Amino acid sequence: MSESTQENLTVLFEDNHVIVVLKPQNVASCPDESGDDNLLDRVKAYLKEKYQKPGNVYVGLVHRLDRPTGGVMVFARTSKAAGRLGEQMKSGDFDKRYLAVLNGTPSPREGTLTGWLKKNTVNNMVYLTTQAADGAKFASLDYRVLGEADKLSLAEVRLHTGRSHQIRVQMAGIAHPVYGDMRYGGERAQKGRLALWAYSLAFTHPVTGERLRFLCEPPKESAPWSLFDLAPAFDIG
């Protein structure tokens, strides 16, 4: 599908019901207390300008990516589409896959991580906890190592639950934090931009019923992505 860029927004796909865009790293998914520039407002501005819409433009937030994480996101252009995509999120019909550069190599090289997470809203940190803890939420993901270089590994991560900071916390929990994640990796995480990228998103179109998948590479020219062959991740059956 064609990719077009208008000003500060990269659009991967759009029709009357959904719009799929690339979220840059360090841009918020939606407005928050910081008041910073955010992707939801960018999408609204893009649609308002392109279609010369008067007044407010409806854009439904279907899912989020953490601010430091870049990659593919879908927004709804109608309330009906938003509702149906939201149902897919709950049922697990969304297929969200990430690429992450990890410090060290997990053993086994492929597996499932499950546990319970709790967010501290005061410091915006998420912690591993127990099921009995107040506010604990179940978290599950699959990972597989795709390559190794310079004491780092490239892993594909497939989320089964969409918890805040989930990949970062669960990978740090097995002593293999994401590259550049000083918040959760501490001294174990090498310094640099967070190497976590939402590279694949698949869902069922809320109106046509067509199964759609969108792929987007991380900035492979820059470290640490440049250390790895990313091709195996894009061989999705």
DSSP 8-class letter at 9: E
Task: Quote the CA–CA distance of 36 and 57 in Å, as a whole number.
Answer: 19
Other C-beta atoms within 10 Å of 160: how many?
A: 15
Structure token pair of residue 216: 């987007």
Task: Quote the CA–CA distance of 235 and 214 in Å, as a whole number.
Answer: 13
Q: Is 66 a catalytic residue?
A: yes
Task: Quote the CA–CA distance of 60 and 64 in Å, as a whole number.
Answer: 11
Task: Quote the CA–CA distance of 1 and 160 in Å, as a whole number.
Answer: 26
Catalytic: which of 15, 32, 41, 66? 66
Q: Quick one: which of 105, 58, 97, 56 has its CA closest to 77?
A: 58
Residues 145, 108 contacting (CB under 8 angstroms): no
144 to 106, 160, 191: CA distances (angstroms) = 9, 14, 23
Task: Quote the CA–CA distance of 17 and 83 in Å, as a whole number.
Answer: 11
Active centre residues (catalytic): 66
